[in-house]
Amino acid sequence: MIFRQIVHDDLGCASYFVGDLDAGVAAVVDPRFEIDEYLGYARYLGVQIDHVLETHNHADHVSGHGRLAEATGATIHIHRLADPEYAHEPLEDGDELQLGALIIRAVHTPGHRPEHTAYALVDTARGDEPWAVLTGDSLFVGDVARPDLAIEKEEGARGIFRSLHGALLPLPAETEVWPGHLGGSLCGGPGMDMKVSSTIGFERRHNALLAEDEDEFVEQALAALGPQPPNFKAIVALNRGPLLSAGVEVMPLTPRQVEGRRAEGALIVDVRTDLQFDEAHIPGAVCITMLRQGFGTKLAWVADREQEIVLVGRDDHDAYGAARLATAVGIRKLGGFLAGGMTSWRAEHREVESIARWTVEELAGRADGVQIVDNREHSEWVDGHIPDSLNVPYHDLQWLPEGLDPARPVAAICASGQRSATAASLLQAHGAREVIHVVDGGVPSWGRLGHALARGD
């Protein structure tokens, strides 16, 4: 039997390459948009990819099912309630697909979405019961899927509860759990682990969200919900629509061309480190580093899908990588990238801006007269925040917050310095004249240093 987990590290998405080596046949479950790794596995093992299976219409990343079908001639399988616009073979609960000695059994698990289907794997050469289940967006390691991306959130949560307790948790305790997402994904909550797999028995005993009482489960699931990603409906539409097989070509641009695109309203996204950005960047640019997990997620929050985006990296390689990550979340209006990176801009002595960097201790010692904007989620702010700070999550900074004086210093702070990097750049782009990026820690460090924290609203 063939079994490989392939993880998209930036988005925290997991896909699976499964099959039978002797039969020379394989299937890919929940493929990401970049399909080279699947094709490489098939060549290396000498097997044919004949099937592509989707657990559901994904809301956080663009699927590679169209590209795989075009490249291999594979049949796409998805539950009939997905109602896609492309050629496919619809599945029902209990349907089986045989690949040599491997049986893939559909287990309808609605809740995250009505069509959601997990896949139980049976290796008939070793036994008749499932040895593993690909849980997609239903059961995660240490967490469960969010219920609010397709239907009313309480209805979705009750659907997830019934799917878990009626279909997945009754599986044998030793059944391996291989989820569709790892920590960092928007499709789960804060309890989602970076661990790549678990077992049904371990999750039964140690997953705090698997309450036996349905009302208690619903209350816990809804309490852990973060804000809805802004472009999830657009991504679902891409994944349900006609097969998408083409990527997005990005062209190198000279500094003069980048300046022209900026003047025409393009969003300049600087993908270098926050340190490099703070030292010098193109005026009006937004800082979203591609060198840490979550670039695509942050870009999807900040970017207007109808606005042209120009990428600035350390070099051309960074820009091409950022373009691939942007395409993975359905951002396709890419106007190009600054050829040669920021070095080419500086070489022409073009205007740059900078952002001050303070540690938490420096902020505590110099806070008088500084407006503090806390860029964490509201639930984090309620648990503890710097007195008199203003709470605006980085993804809500579409303009200067009401009451903020652009002529006075403003400090952006989060929990670590990562979200505040993007927030500081947005505050500056929206007109704040003296912006401070709080680095090497955040609000939790403020408390550990012995400074007062306020709680509640």
Question: Mean per-residue pLDDT for 128-133?
Answer: 96
For residue 198, the model assigns a pLDDT of 97
Confidence of residue 433 (pLDDT cuts 50, 70, 90): very high
Fold of the domain spanning 356-448: Oxidized Rhodanese; domain 1 (3.40.250)
Burial class (CB in 10 A: 0-12, 13-18, 19+), 46: exposed
Confidence of residue 190 (pLDDT cuts 50, 70, 90): low
For residue 439, the model assigns a pLDDT of 96
Q: Report whether pLDDT(189) > 80.
A: no
* Cβ count near 237 (within 10 Å): 14
Q: Which CATH number fits domain 2-240: 3.60.15.10, 3.40.47.10, 3.40.50.2000, 3.30.530.20?
A: 3.60.15.10
What six digits make up the tokens of 308?
């042209």
For residue 256, the model assigns a pLDDT of 97
Q: Report whether pLDDT(82) > 70.
A: yes
Q: Report whether pLDDT(237) > 80.
A: yes
Q: Report whether pLDDT(357) > 80.
A: yes
For residue 185, the model assigns a pLDDT of 60
Q: Report whether pLDDT(397) > 90.
A: yes
For residue 248, the model assigns a pLDDT of 79
- Which residues belong to CATH 3.60.15.10 in the chain? 2-240
Among 25-34, 160-169, 218-227, whose mean pLDDT is lowest?
A: 218-227
- Which residues belong to CATH 3.40.250.10 in the chain? 252-347, 356-448
Q: Report whether pLDDT(87) > 70.
A: yes
Q: What is the pLDDT of residues 278-297, one digit of tens each?
A: 999 999 999 999 998 889 98
Percent share of the chain, pLDDT over 70: 98
Q: State pTM to two decimals.
A: 0.87
Q: Between helices 295-302 and 316-328, what is the axis angle to 10°?
A: 70
For residue 106, the model assigns a pLDDT of 98
Question: Mean per-residue pLDDT for 253-262?
Answer: 97
Question: Mean per-residue pLDDT for 314-334?
Answer: 93
Confidence of residue 319 (pLDDT cuts 50, 70, 90): very high
For residue 80, the model assigns a pLDDT of 96
Question: Mean per-residue pLDDT for 335-359?
Answer: 97
Confidence of residue 126 (pLDDT cuts 50, 70, 90): very high
Q: Report whether pLDDT(101) > 90.
A: yes
Question: Mean per-residue pLDDT for 24-31?
Answer: 98
Confidence of residue 227 (pLDDT cuts 50, 70, 90): confident
Confidence of residue 125 (pLDDT cuts 50, 70, 90): very high
Q: Report whether pLDDT(229) > 80.
A: no
Among 35-44, 58-67, 240-249, 405-414, whose mean pLDDT is lowest?
A: 240-249
CATH architecture assignment, domain 252-347:
3-Layer(aba) Sandwich (3.40)
Percent share of the chain, pLDDT over 90: 85
Confidence of residue 223 (pLDDT cuts 50, 70, 90): confident
For residue 228, the model assigns a pLDDT of 80
For residue 186, the model assigns a pLDDT of 61
